[in-house]
Structure 1
Amino acid sequence: MQIKKILTLDLSHKRIFGLDLLRMLAILFVVFSHSASLLPKNVYSFFDLFYFDGVCIFFVLSGFLIGSIIINSVEKNGFNRSELFTFWIRRWFRTLPNYYFFVVILAVLSKLFIKGFPLKGIFPFLFFSQNLFSANDIFFGESWSLSVEEWFYLTIPLILFFCINVLKIKFKKSLLIVSVFLLLFSTFLRYYLYNNGHLPQMIDYRRVVIMRIDNLMYGMIGAYISYYHQEFWTKNKYRLLIIGLSLILVWKVLSYQYPSIESFYYVNIFYPLFCIAILCLLPILSQYNLKKYNIITKATTYVSLISYSLYLIHYSLIKKLLIDNIFSDFFAGETVEALILKNTFYWCASIIGALLIYKYFEIPTMKLRDKIKFK
């Protein structure tokens, strides 16, 4: 009974199920993609047929949600310094405590169990500068996407604040200009670097902040359309759903035809095409709610709620440190039994660990943000 209580989450809060579904799929795609070395190649190849870019989904969804928060706040209260700092505080209490919690845990365990681990190497990770100009795999490799998100949280509201209060451009116009400009800038920067032969010299350009900021801008544009053009957003949701699913199919076919990350398709078309596809799904998903929940829909919401903690815990801690290093002898072997054991531990430890972190650390720290007000 006590265990059941520990593993139970409150699902009574009003939520948009369509967005929970998208968030759940995104995190499951990410966790699955990082399990490649735990699965036989033929098994992974089969499941890979149904795999889609989870981080891209997160970026578009995040841009949409943050854009919606900013729009609703500005349209209601204006955009002064108080609103700017309130936005930052609420975002940072949502993301930073969990992030630094894992940075500390990973740093301590890495120093203890990985021979020659350079503790000084974690310094850029404290300020989200680990992938400003090139990717950094020395530590907490999956945190690159969190860095993209944090720079987005910091810079976009600041740029909008400058446009509104210094340049005196109306918010609605500022939002559209900033979103479209950054989308085009990031897209054409990849194209320019590719054409001039610079991308191969970069350490995994896919994880550099400015190379991926356009992914979030698609979501921002979605937030703009959903608020200022509600009729279009609502009336065309089924048409856009068909377009979005069709684009996903095209994206999947092209991804198999041009798998190299240095190909023209991968650099210039892969991300924009998939982001546009996800954007087209948002009208119907953002309006899809449930009156009653069954075991499947409850599980969907459950995984959605713990998705941030699950992202933080599953790879560097569970996969790389515990399975590949600390308990590598225990998990050694390529027999069927060994593979089942590794995969069972990977998924169960990740999900249960994420749940405990979410329930007993993430929620309490998020509640603190309601106590801080700027005037």
Structure 2
Amino acid sequence: MQIKNFFKLDIGHNRIFGLDILRMLAILFVVFSHSASLLPDTVYTFFDLFYFDGVCIFFVLSGFLIGNIIIKSVEKNGFSRSELFTFWIRRWFRTLPSYYLFVLILGVLSKVFITGFPLRAIIPFLFFSQNLTHANDSFFGESWSLSVEEWFYLSIPLLLFFSVNFFKINFKRSLILVSVALLLFSTFLRYYMYSSGHLPEMVDYRRVVIMRMDNLMYGVIGAYLSFYYHHFWTKNKYKFFVTGIVLMLAWKVLSYLYPNIESFYYVNLFYPLFCMAVLCLLPLLSQYSLKKYGKIATAVTYISLISYSLYLIHFSLIKKLLIDNIFSSFFAGSGIEFMVLKNVFYWVASILGALLLYKYFEIPTMKLRDKIKFK
């Protein structure tokens, strides 16, 4: 009974189960995609048939949720400097403590167990500058997507603040102008880099901040429609949902037809098409809540709750450091039993570790943010 309570999480009564489903799928897709080297090619290829881009789902969902937070805050309290700083503080208390904890853990373990690991490689990761213009795999490679989000948290409220307070454009108009402008900026930047032949210079443009900011803007536009055109948003939710499913299937087919990451489709249409598909799912899923939770619904919500911790722990720590380096001799066999052992360890250690991190570190640090307010 005590062990059960040790892992038990409180599920709030105001959770939106539809968004929990989306968040759960996103993190499972991400964790699965990083398990490629742990599986035989035939097995991975089979499961890949059911794979969708988890990072894009996270980006659109994050844009939607953050957009709603900003809209509701500004419409209620106005857009003063205190509102701006309060937003940043609440966001940073949500993401930074766990992130910096892992930068510390990974830095120490990498220095101890990886020969020749330079501690200076960590410096860009302290300021989220590791992938502003180029991808960086020197350390904590998967954090590229968090870097995109952190720059989104910093830049969007700031741009809106200046638009409202200095250029005197009302907030509603500022929101759609800034969202569309940033969406078009990244989209046309990818097209320019592709058409001018500069794309190879980016190393891997898919993980560069300035190349992916548009993904979040689809979610912000969804928040704009949800709040200011709520009747339209809710009335057409089933039509949008069916459209989203069709777009996802089209995206899947086209991704198999044009797998080259430097092809015209992949550079220019891959992300917009999938982000639009996710956006179309939101009108229905953002209104889907539960009054009672069965075992399956509880499991879905648990995975959703620990998704950020699971994102931080599963790859650089569990996969690269523990399986591939520190305990590599233990997992060195080539038989089926070693493959099963590696996969069981990868998933169980990632999920249990994320559960403990969320309950005993992430929740306590999030509670601190409620004590800080700017007047």
Q: Which TM class, normalised by the smaller chain length?
A: over 0.9
Displacement of 1:19 after TM fit? 0.3
CA distance in 1, matches of 2:181, 2:295: 43
Corresponding residue for residue 32 of structure 2:
32
**1:167-211 per-position Cα deviation (integer Å, ceiling 9, x unaligned):** 000000000000000001110000011000001121100011010
**1:216-245 per-position Cα deviation (integer Å, ceiling 9, x unaligned):** 000000000000000110000000011000
Further displaced range: 11-20 or 27-36: 11-20
CA distance in 2, matches of 1:45, 1:7: 34
Corresponding residue for residue 308 of structure 1:
308
SS in 1 for 2:269: helix
Corresponding residue for residue 6 of structure 2:
6
Corresponding residue for residue 104 of structure 2:
104
Corresponding residue for residue 87 of structure 2:
87
TM-score (normalised: structure 2): 0.99
RMSD: 0.6
**1:137-189 per-position Cα deviation (integer Å, ceiling 9, x unaligned):** 00000000000000000010000000000000000000000000000111000
Displacement of 1:7 after TM fit? 1.2
The amino acid of 1:23's aligned partner reads R
CA distance in 2, matches of 1:353, 1:216: 28
- Written as runs of structure 1 = structure 2, the 5 A alignment for 1:38-49 is 38-49=38-49
Displacement of 1:2 after TM fit? 2.1
Corresponding residue for residue 362 of structure 1:
362
The amino acid of 2:285's aligned partner reads L
Corresponding residue for residue 374 of structure 1:
374
**1:35-56 per-position Cα deviation (integer Å, ceiling 9, x unaligned):** 0000111000000000000000
Corresponding residue for residue 76 of structure 2:
76
Corresponding residue for residue 243 of structure 1:
243
SS in 2 for 1:259: coil
CA distance in 1, matches of 2:86, 2:12: 26
CA distance in 1, matches of 2:169, 2:10: 43
CA distance in 1, matches of 2:165, 2:12: 40
TM-score (normalised: structure 1): 0.99
CA distance in 2, matches of 1:73, 1:12: 21
Corresponding residue for residue 16 of structure 2:
16
The amino acid of 2:262's aligned partner reads E
- Written as runs of structure 1 = structure 2, the 5 A alignment for 1:110-129 is 110-129=110-129
**1:300-338 per-position Cα deviation (integer Å, ceiling 9, x unaligned):** 000000000000000000000000000000011221100
Corresponding residue for residue 333 of structure 1:
333
CA distance in 1, matches of 2:374, 2:85: 7
- Written as runs of structure 1 = structure 2, the 5 A alignment for 1:1-375 is 1-375=1-375
CA distance in 2, matches of 1:250, 1:335: 38
Displacement of 1:12 after TM fit? 3.7
CA distance in 1, matches of 2:365, 2:13: 18
CA distance in 1, matches of 2:158, 2:78: 14
Displacement of 1:6 after TM fit? 1.1
The amino acid of 2:133's aligned partner reads F
Deviating above 2 A after TM superposition, structure 1's stretches of 4 or more consecutive aligned residues are: none
**1:250-288 per-position Cα deviation (integer Å, ceiling 9, x unaligned):** 000000000011111000000000000000000000000
CA distance in 2, matches of 1:180, 1:41: 41
Q: What are the ranges of 5 or more consecutive residues in structure 2 without an aligned counterpart?
A: none
Query: How many percent of aligned residue pairs carry the same amino acid?
Result: 78
CA distance in 2, matches of 1:255, 1:337: 33
**1:30-86 per-position Cα deviation (integer Å, ceiling 9, x unaligned):** 000000000111000000000000000000000000000000000000000000000
CA distance in 1, matches of 2:120, 2:15: 42
CA distance in 2, matches of 1:360, 1:367: 12
The amino acid of 2:149's aligned partner reads E
CA distance in 2, matches of 1:190, 1:84: 30
Q: What are the ranges of 5 or more consecutive residues in structure 1 without an aligned counterpart?
A: none
SS in 1 for 2:290: coil
CA distance in 1, matches of 2:232, 2:160: 25
The size of the alignment, in residue pairs, is 375
CA distance in 2, matches of 1:14, 1:274: 28
SS in 1 for 2:143: helix
SS in 2 for 1:332: coil
CA distance in 2, matches of 1:189, 1:360: 42
Displacement of 1:13 after TM fit? 3.5
The amino acid of 1:358's aligned partner reads Y
